[in-house]
Structures are given as structure tokens and as C-alpha cells.
Structure 1
Amino acid sequence: MIRNLLKDSLKAGNTVFGPFCKMQDPAIVEIAAFSGFDFVIIDMEHGPFSIESTQNMVRAAEAKGITPVVRVTENSETLILRALDIGIKCIQIPQICTKADADKVVKATKFYPKGERGMCRYVRAAEYTNINGADHFGNANDQVTTIIHIEGMEGINNLEEIVQVDGIDVIFLGPYDLSQSCGVPGQVNDPKVVNAMKDAVKTAKKYGKAVGTFTESPEKAKMWKDIGVQYISYSVDVGLVMNTFKGITKELHCKNDVFL
């Protein structure tokens, strides 16, 4: 049985880093692993992934020792179940606004007695019955890391109740959607957004929850780490490739005496 190394790291108080992935080629997962990232977030919400392509990304991650996380498209029992059944041990659920939303997540991600996750051992999560049912059903609740997205002021305002839901492991603060909710769409560094996130970090940590967020620069990553954020999503694979390509082509065109 593969251990949930990300969960172990967070419990130990470590900070972990990883990009969102929208490319469907498992090579990008291998590259992230070789580069030293701790995890990759396979983005089914904003990416073009099917459950089949997601499963192959998961296989690539496990083969190279990097933790695969899947962000599903919505807080749906069926979508969550399908992701967990392919062997995901870290799952992110977007657009959590209320305690009822968080309760629904736990119901879908946990087996009895904590939840009502659909039971089947003829799935990759149970190594196609190589893991016996008692072990699979008995250990899954402890092994799965459940991450919820707080992406609007409704979620921020209800956070005190949300963080008290047993079975939620990480509170992920989505700065872009939050900026829209704050009336400054896209302005993730606006004080309204940053201050709301800082207050949310304090609330989550008061109840012993790990906190995550998204950032696009090493400076901002360090700032959030210093504030106490442990689970830091660093940019997106397509953006990292685009920025690298543009930087190279800009430099090449500047050297027109050599290349043009």
C-alpha cells in the first residue's frame, strides 16, 4: 500500500510545493518529480482531463515518488468517488462556501462511520483486490487527505464553522476567485484579498487545520510560508512553459546580430 507522503509531511509541520497541471502528458508529472516538487495537482476543474487520462497521470506520479492530487470539477459524490477509486489519496474540492458544503465533502470522501463513500474493492485504490477489503475500507479514512477550496467571501465569512468539520484536512484559499468576490477581479495582491486570506489563515490554524494557497512567484510563496501556509501550489505547468518560452524568444530576438 502506497503511503500518503503529503499527509505525513503536513502533519510533521513541513511546507510542501507543487504546480497545477493542465497538460495531459504524464511526462509533465515526471518532470515535476525530477525537478524536486513535492506534489502535482491534476486539474480536472479547469483542465481537459478525463478520468482515464487522470489515472495515467496518477500512475506517473506514483512511479516517480511525487504525490498526485486531483482537483475535481465540483462537490459531487460521484466525481469524488471516481477520483478516489483510481487511487487518489489527496483530493481537492472547489467552491466550498458553508458548513453544509464541507459536511457533504466528508460524507463523500470517508467510509462509515465518518461518511458514506461508495464501497467497492474491485478498483485501483484497493489494488484490484490485492488489498483485502478489511484493510482497504479500514485504512482509507486515515490515508486520504481532503482539501477544500475557499474561494469567495461567503466561505470566508463561514470559515469558523467550516474549519470545525471533522474530516477536512486542508483549507485551500483561492486568491483569484476571492479577488472577484472582493470586487477586484484578478487583483490578487489587493489588500482586500490579502487581508481576508491572512485572517483566514489565523482562523484555520486556530482549529489545527493546515492551510494552502496558490502563488506565482518565489517571493509570494515565501511570504505565505512565513505566515504559516504549508501547502503551496506554485503556478501552473502551461504558464511555467509559456513564461520560459517567452523569456527565451525575447532573448533570442534581442541578439539579432547572431540569430536574425
Structure 2
Amino acid sequence: MPLRLDPTFGKQLAAAQRTLYGGWICSGSPVVAEIMAGAGLDWLLIDMEHAPNGLQSVMAQLHAVSGYDTTPVVRVPAGETTTVKQVLDLGAQNILVPMVSTAQQAEEVAAMATYPPHGVRGIGSALARSARWNRVQGYLQEAERHVSVFVQIETAEGVANAAEIAAVDGIDGVFLGPSDLSASMGLIGQQTHPDVVAAVKESFAAIIAAGKPAGVNAFDPEAARDYVSAGARWVLVGADVALVARGSEKLASTFIPQSSTSAAEPPESY
């Protein structure tokens, strides 16, 4: 029976009349992923870079969120051909590749997600969830319609090359990571330092001029709104583990005398 796949996140961003707000799933738990999926957020980031996620747990989370009106994006741990192939074969339609600092790296990422002759993605759709085991008609010929590819700028070098990165054919958008960017600029842990914020906004201008949607993570609401004012079209505004951490700390502080606790001050928002 013929099946259809959902519109990619790239198409959703192109059609959206407002910024799309997302939540970060770092727990590796399909239960938590489903809770986040039912919250009403526009999109979710399933993270393989800094979370305890492998292929099976990512697939379980894709299953968990599939019944909800939200779009999953999978961040792979690195721009590596085999990993990108495997994650796409799992049925992830939208991927984010971290630590891309040059146009050449972006071109390599785009090729990883594209079948020959234009790319190097291995062909195994008959065996994989991506084409629903050959139930999606014409998947091999039209795979590019069903996949969107995003890259993440996280270094000063990437900021300098933002225009060239965004202009790469096959890249659907560019996401800024202020945490690693701050470290690259010698300001580790200072994501909201004026120089870091300025570098993010400089990247936004270059990305937008290239006709691509710029995104960023910003857990502080004021920072998020400021980035939206600067042109951000997709923003991560919170993470499952951070929500649980802060919520459980609030419970403890509400019911337990502060002198009885040993909790440290929470770190600056990611």
C-alpha cells in the first residue's frame, strides 16, 4: 500500500509565518520524548552528540513522537558518512550535523545525505524504515524530497565562513551553538557574553542573506526573544533534562530547609 512521509522540517521552515520553537531531548528516553512531543512544541531535537543515544534508542524515540504534531530532528554525533546513512535509514527525515566550520565540510555533509550520482549515501531502502521497506513509492528517485539537512556552526572559523556554508546546495538551514562558540572565542561558559551574541547575530545576517533559515539554542527567554528579533527562525528553548533538574530543585527548595541541602547553584543556561 502506498505511503507518504511527512513534510521535512526544511519545508516547514520555508512555509512558516513565525519562528518555530523546539525542545531538546537529551535523556535518551522514549517515554520522556513522548512527554515532550505532547507539549505543543513545533519541533524536537533528538541528540546523539551529548546524550546516551544509539541507533536503537533513536528509533524508539522516533516511534514515540510519531503520533504527535511535532517534527523530530536528529543531531548526529559527527559528520561521518556511515552514521548519517544509518540515521537516515532509521527513518529520520531531518538531521543536524554539529561542528561544521567550512563550506567544504558542509558540501561533504550534503553528499552524505544524498544518493548517487550527486552524493554518497549508501542504498538500502528496501531494508530500512526510511522508505518503509519499499512501501514509499519512488523513494530512491525522490529521496531528496523526504530529507532535510542542517549544519551547526560552533566555532569562530564557522562564523567567518557562515555565508559560504549557508550557500551550499543541499543544506537546508544553519544552526548556531553558543556554548562551543563561546569556548572557541576564549569565553568558555559565557554563552551570553556580548561578543558571543554579536558573533551569533553576525552569522544570522550571513545565513539569511544566503536565503537559508538561521537557528540557535537559547534557554533564557530574553535571549531567545532577542535572537528572534535578529532573525532566528528556529530556536531551541529548553531541554528535557534541564526541565527535570530545575523542577526537582524547586521541589527540594520548596519543602526542605535550605540549610539541609547541598545543591550547588545551577550553571548558566546552556
The aligned residue for residue 239 of structure 2 is 236
* Whole-angstrom distance in 1 between the partners of 2:151 and 2:77: 12
Is the partner of 2:202 in helix, strand or coil? helix
Q: Which residue of 1 aligns with 2:128?
A: 123
- 2-side partners of 1:32 and 1:63: how far apart? 12
Q: Secondary structure at the match of 1:139?
A: helix
Among 191, 198, 203, the alignment partner of 2:201 is 198
Report the TM-score when normalising by structure 1.
0.93
CA distance in 2, matches of 1:186, 1:11: 33
State the distance in 2 between where 1:24 and 1:158 align. 33
The counterpart of 1:179, out of the listed 179, 182, 186, is 182
Q: Is the 8 A contact 1:214 1:232 kept in 2?
A: yes
Q: 2:166 aligns with which of 163, 166, 169?
A: 163
Tell me the secondary structure at the aligned position of residue 35 of structure 1.
coil
* Contact 1:6 1:38 survives alignment (8 Å): no
Cα shift at 1:8: 3.1
Deviations 1:216-257 (A, max 9, x none): 12222211112110111122211111001111221122599x
Contact 2:182 2:189 in 1 (8 A): yes
Superposition pairs of residues 1-260 of structure 1, within 5 angstroms: 1-4=4-7, 6-13=9-16, 14-121=18-125, 122-132=127-137, 135-253=138-256
With 57-66 and 193-202 compared, the bigger mean Cα shift is at: 57-66
Give every structure 1 segment of 4 or more consecutive aligned residues whose post-TM-superposition deviation is greater than 3 Å: none
TM-score under structure 2 normalisation?
0.89
2:265 is aligned to: none
Q: Contact conserved, 2:73 with 2:96, CA < 8 A, in 1? A: yes
Name the % identity.
31
Deviation at 1:174, TM superposition (A): 0.4
SS at match of 1:63: coil
Q: For 1:2, what is the secondary structure of its paired residue? A: coil
**Offset of residue 138 of structure 1:** 2.4
Partners of 2:8 and 2:147 within 8 A in 1: no
Deviations 1:174-231 (A, max 9, x none): 0000000111101011111011111110000001010111111222221111211011
| Structure 1: distance between partners of 2:199 and 2:154 | 11
Asked if the contact 2:28/2:57 (under 8 Å) is kept, the reply is yes
Distance (Å, rounded) in 2 between the aligned partners of 1:237 and 1:167: 30
Asked if structure 2 preserves the Cα contact closer than 8 Å seen for 1:20 and 1:41, the reply is yes
Q: Is the 8 A contact 1:4 1:67 kept in 2?
A: no
CA distance in 2, matches of 1:233, 1:106: 23
Q: 2:111 is matched by which residue type in structure 1?
A: K
Question: Aligned-pair RMSD on alpha carbons?
Answer: 1.7
Partners of 2:258 and 2:109 in 1: how far apart?
54
State the AA in 1 paired with 2:109.
Answer: V
Cα distance, 1:156–1:248 mapped onto 2, change above 3 Å: same
The answer (yes or no) to whether the contact 2:79–2:97 under 8 Å persists in 1 is yes
Cα distance, 1:111 vs structure 2: 1.9
